[in-house]
């Protein structure tokens, strides 16, 4: 019985926390990695970098709070991806990532824009737009994957998009 309660508690924490975990202090900000920074206006280079990241991380399982190939969550994947492939250091949590950059309309999306979803009452999810309705993210069910914004689930959960001020 205690094991069942423990497992139920763990499930509830994971279900309620989602990618909104790992709180940070201070205002959201963007920093840059010297010598690695990719010009975000160069969409061909941004897409090349993001697809390379996908091929390196494809099918890595989802793990809340994770930051490695052993497991990663959505905001952690954005943190690692932007730092290593684009030279941009994002805050670790979705809560602070959503405070970055400028809001943009869905029909103005370009490679490198962050896309945010409301997947529960207080749960948020983040990915990065690629092209042609596709975005890269760490899915709770599929791990690191590419999905379509027009899929029923993502279409109904779509919240907003942000373009970073770079």
Instruction: For residue 74, indicate whether it is catalytic.
Output: yes
Specify the pLDDT at position 35: 67
> Which domains can be identified in the chain, with CATH numbers?
2-21+31-163 (3.90.1720.10)
From first to last of its 166 residues, the chain has per-residue pLDDT tens of 454 444 444 443 443 345 544 444 555 566 767 667 889 999 999 999 999 999 999 999 999 999 999 999 999 999 999 999 999 999 999 999 999 999 999 999 999 999 999 999 989 999 999 999 999 999 999 999 999 999 999 999 999 999 997 6
List the catalytic residue out of 19, 55, 79, 125. 125
Q: Which of 128, 19, 37, 131 is nearest to 78 (CA)?
A: 128
The reported pLDDT for the residue numbered 4 is 44
How far is CA 156 from its chain centroid? 17
Integer CA distances (angstroms), 90 to 7, 28, 61, 93, 152, in order? 33, 8, 21, 9, 29
Say how far apart CA 141 and CA 36 lie, in whole Å: 31
Q: What is the pLDDT of residue 95?
A: 95
Q: Residue 104, class by beta-carbon neighbours within 10 Å (0-12 exposed, 13-18 middle, 19+ buried)?
A: middle
In this predicted structure, what is the pLDDT of residue 37? 83
Is 55 a known active-site residue?
no
The token duo for 149 is: 């914004």
């Amino acid at each position: 019985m205690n094991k069942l309660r423990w497992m139920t508690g763990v499930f509830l924490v994971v279900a309620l926390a989602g990618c909104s975990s790992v709180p940070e202090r201070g205002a959201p900000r963007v920093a840059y990695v010297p010598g690695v920074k990719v010009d975000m206006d160069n969409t061909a280079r941004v897409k090349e970098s993001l697809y390379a990241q996908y091929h390196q991380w494809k099918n890595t399982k989802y793990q809340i709070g994770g930051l490695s190939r052993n497991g990663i969550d959505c905001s952690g994947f954005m943190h690692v991806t932007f730092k290593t492939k684009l030279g941009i250091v994002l805050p670790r949590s979705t809560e602070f990532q959503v405070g970055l950059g400028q809001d943009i309309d869905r029909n103005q999306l370009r490679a490198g824009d962050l896309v945010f979803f409301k997947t529960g009452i207080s749960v948020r999810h983040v990915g990065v737009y690629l092209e042609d309705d596709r975005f890269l993210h760490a899915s709770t069910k599929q791990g690191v994957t590419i999905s379509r914004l027009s899929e029923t689930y993502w279409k109904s959960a779509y919240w907003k998009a942000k373009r970073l001020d770079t």
